Chains A and B, each alone.
Chain A
């Protein structure tokens, strides 16, 4: 366990060094995200008309958008990391580690996420400043956020598996980004009956709905929806791990771990 902690710190240090050394890349990423959102916001306000008050709905959109950008990052992280390592010729050195590849890339992804959280905080502050949206930050948002992040890592491991087997996943990632936008912004909390049950089965959706309730509407988290969101996150995370193990085995059998 201490080894994992040391490795996490080493990964964090590596990411931080790279972020500082190549700060322009990170800053341009933040500016890009803020500009896209501000563009979307201006269009929405234009369509709604000058007198419309977006209020809670704007806050919900902000939460959805920031979650979306965070999830896109998580989703592409493992696959992207695998591809970058393969292209720069360090993947095999990484794979010579005594730790399982899936754990290694998860530790790395979590270290990346910590840095990304920081960057997203800047995005959130910038968006709030630009749009006048004021989110109520609450500790109650942490459990649903964990549920969303778990689901996102599950999908990320799935994309990583794909990257192990078919190498190039950019096209798939591009499409999945829009599926993600749907998953994270679809208001299943307003759905009823069988469609609500369907919504609960979708990856990350229950957690994202709860986050909107807490952050945008300032309501408390109810236990049952939270349990559903957490189970949903754990199931997708577990599925991701199993698929990754399977893909790793196939890639080793087919000799695909090395050459890109």
Chain B
């Protein structure tokens, strides 16, 4: 699709250690359903529930893109939701990280060959971490989030 060309994956790394440390300690997440079957979405919400408790890592789920450090996208990007996804991504402050949850968000998986979506999230916006599975277990989602935190703190 070539849509990702407009965005650069090279981010300016924050210079001050304190901000980097603070961001890595409590990243805020925005969740966007770009055409998912709800399977990944409920697993994402389940990861907030008492059994898994995503918040113990300081991760908070927020309602506004302007507050978010991480964008968690589920589902193949449907044609209708594509412009919305791009808009949300643009509204997020730098540095921003994207995590693609589920097989659909990676490649479009079972919906491959459809006329109404443009495949995985990577076709629309750059993605940092992929979490595979249909749907991935809450543990896998938490693991993905921790990978993003690692990246935030300067790891690879």
A and B are partners in one complex rather than unrelated chains:
no
